[in-house]
Amino acid sequence: MSVPNAALQRLRLRTELRKARTGARLTQRQVASKMEWSPSKLIRIEAGEVGISVNDLRPLLDAYGIRDRRKIDELLDLARGSRRMPYSEYRDLYGKEFLEFLALESSASIIRHYGALVMPGPLQTEEYARAIMTAYNKSIPEERLERGVEVRLARQELLTSGGRELFYILDEAVVRRHVGGRGVMRAQLERLAELAAKPGVTIQILPFSVGAHAGIQGPFSLFEFEADEMPDSLHLENPRGDSYTTNAPDETGRYLERFWELEDLALKDDVGALLRALAERTEDGRDDLETLLQSVPVDAVAQE
């Protein structure tokens, strides 16, 4: 990723602008008053929700006392390159938290993700994506469904663009739950086996047999960036659909250690062969609880 994309440039710019304002010992309200802006405009710029034009940036840097020509040119270049964020055409579909997550994901050089229940978006087949979105909302309009699938497929550029290291740890529940039926799940597992063999992609399975572990608290993603000034970021999800993103070092560090702990517990060797075997068993129904119950007397199960 020798050329930073718009998302990374905007993330870098907002970090630099916050640093410049605090270095000048100015509050957001003071800056907004000096620039004759509404306070919400500056807040949105510093939050990365909107870009900033070159014409607005020049007087802002002057207000912060930045006089170094090279620094000014650097920040102006960031502003020019950050005007169009990836996935901005889907603002009507997703909230700002998820759009920020997509920006981080598309910009990161190292991605670590732990999935507890659902296949991570970039790993999903089109059929799996459509099935899981329909399960979330059975009355979802067709147009919204198709656009949501578009986003998932677009995210798969991570797997082909190169220059990244991708680490995915999937709980056994992710690969055992039949999303979309047996045929869809078999194709998904076969796709997962193919991805596990790709350079730069590491997929591990966390088996039920490890028992309780820290990852039970929920899925999370960690992002690292090539740019030294970009701090590592952590993204958390919860069942209500809310999300939380932070670059606080204590939190990103704690979750990085958690990821390493899960790596030690998870299966790594011969994952492709394991997934292909599971795909075959999924197709003929030898992997599910219903089949097991048919072979065990109901009374015996109840006694257990």
Residue whose tokens read 């067709």: 142
**Pick from 224, 195, 249, 192: nearest CA to 111:** 224
For residue 193, being part of any structural domain is answered with: yes
Give the other-Cβ count within 10 Å of 233's Cβ. Answer: 24
* 15: in domain: yes
Write down which residue in 81, 104, 130 finishes a domain. 81
Token representation of residue 202? 């590491």
Asked whether residue 98 falls in the same domain as residue 45, the answer is: no
What CATH number is given to the structural domain containing 67? 1.10.260
Terminal CA-CA length for the chain: 55
Same-domain check for residues 115 and 175:
yes
Which helix (H) or strand (E) is 153 found in, with range?
Answer: helix 142-154
Expressed as residue numbers, the domain containing 235 is: 88-121+158-294
Q: How many domains does the chain have?
A: 2
Per-residue model confidence as pLDDT tens for the chain (304 residues): 333 466 677 778 888 999 999 999 999 999 999 999 998 999 988 877 777 889 999 999 999 999 999 999 999 988 887 666 668 788 888 887 888 888 889 889 999 999 999 999 999 999 999 999 999 999 999 999 999 999 999 999 889 877 899 999 999 999 999 999 999 999 999 999 999 999 999 999 999 999 999 999 899 999 998 877 678 999 997 655 567 888 889 999 999 999 999 999 999 888 999 999 999 988 777 766 566 556 555 444 344 4
Residue 111 tokens, joined: 């991605």
